[in-house]
Amino acid sequence: MEFQKKGSLRGEVTVPGDKSISHRAVMFGSLAEGTTEIHGFLQGADCLSTISCFEKMGVSIENKGSLVLVHGNGLHGLKKPAEILDCGNSGTTTRIISGILSGQSFDVTLTGDESIQKRPMKRIIDPLTQMGADIQSIRGNGCAPLAIRGSRLHGIHYTSKVASAQVKSAILLAGLYAEGPTSVTEPYVSRNHSELMLKLFGADVSTEGTTATIQPAPQLCSTKVMVPGDISSAAYFIAAGLMIPGSEILIKNVGINPTRDGILHVCRQMGADIQLLHGKQDEGEPTADILVRHSSLHGTEIRGAIIPTLIDELPMLAAMAAMAEGETVIRDAAELKVKESNRIAVMVENLTAMGADVRETEDGMVIQGGKPLHGAAVDSHKDHRIAMTFAVTALCADGITDIKDAECVNISYPAFYEDLKKLMAH
Active-site residue list: 312
**132: Cβ–Cβ under 8 A, 6 or more apart, which residues?**
151, 152, 153, 154, 178
- The CB-of-297 to ligand S3P minimum distance in angstroms stands at 24
**Residue (311 or 378) nearer to ligand S3P, CB:** 311
Q: Which range, of 165-173, 297-305, 396-404, 413-421, touches ligand S3P by CB under 6 A?
A: 165-173
The reply on whether position 93 binds ligand S3P by CB under 6 A is no
The CA distances from residue 54 to 29, 45, 68, 192, in Å, are 10, 15, 13, 22
Interface with ligand S3P: number of residues (CB under 6 A): 11
- The CB-of-232 to ligand S3P minimum distance in angstroms stands at 7
- The CB-of-110 to ligand S3P minimum distance in angstroms stands at 17
The CA distances from residue 85 to 50, 111, 333, in Å, are 9, 6, 31
Helix (H) or strand (E) holding 53: helix 45-56
**Residue (20 or 30) nearer to ligand S3P, CB:** 20
The reply on whether position 166 binds ligand S3P by CB under 6 A is yes
The reply on whether position 408 binds ligand S3P by CB under 6 A is no
Measure the CA–CA gap between 266 and 251, rounded to whole angstroms.
18
3-state secondary structure of 393: helix
The reply on whether position 164 binds ligand S3P by CB under 6 A is yes
Q: Is 376 left (phi over 0), alpha (psi -120 to 50) or beta?
A: beta
- DSSP structure class, residue 194: H
Q: Which range, of 9-17, 162-170, 349-357, 370-378, touches ligand S3P by CB under 6 A?
A: 162-170
Contact 75, 100 (CB under 8 A): no
The reply on whether position 22 binds ligand S3P by CB under 6 A is no
Parallel/antiparallel/unpaired status of strands 107-111 and 85-86: parallel
- The CB-of-338 to ligand S3P minimum distance in angstroms stands at 8
Q: Footprint of ligand S3P on residues 335-354 (CB under 6 A)?
A: 335
Q: Footprint of ligand S3P on residues 125-144 (CB under 6 A)?
A: none
**Residue (36 or 169) nearer to ligand S3P, CB:** 169
Contact 225, 305 (CB under 8 A): no
**Residue (56 or 193) nearer to ligand S3P, CB:** 193
- The CB-of-285 to ligand S3P minimum distance in angstroms stands at 13
Q: Is 182 left (phi over 0), alpha (psi -120 to 50) or beta?
A: beta
- The CB-of-226 to ligand S3P minimum distance in angstroms stands at 17
Q: Quickly list H helices, 220-272.
A: 231-243, 262-269
Binding mask 283-322 for ligand S3P (x = CB under 6 A): ----------------------------xx----------
DSSP lists the bridge partners of residue 32 as 220
Measure the CA–CA gap between 16 and 419, rounded to whole angstroms.
11
Helix (H) or strand (E) holding 195: helix 193-200
**Residue (52 or 352) nearer to ligand S3P, CB:** 52
The strand ranges marked E within 5-79 are: 10-14, 32-39, 60-63, 67-73
**306: Cβ–Cβ under 8 A, 6 or more apart, which residues?**
262, 265, 266
- The CB-of-268 to ligand S3P minimum distance in angstroms stands at 22
Instruction: Figure out which of the listed residues 30, 36, 73, 92 binds ligand S3P, where binding follows CB under 6 A.
Output: 92
Residues of this chain that bind ligand S3P (CB under 6 A): 20, 92, 164-166, 169, 190-191, 311-312, 335
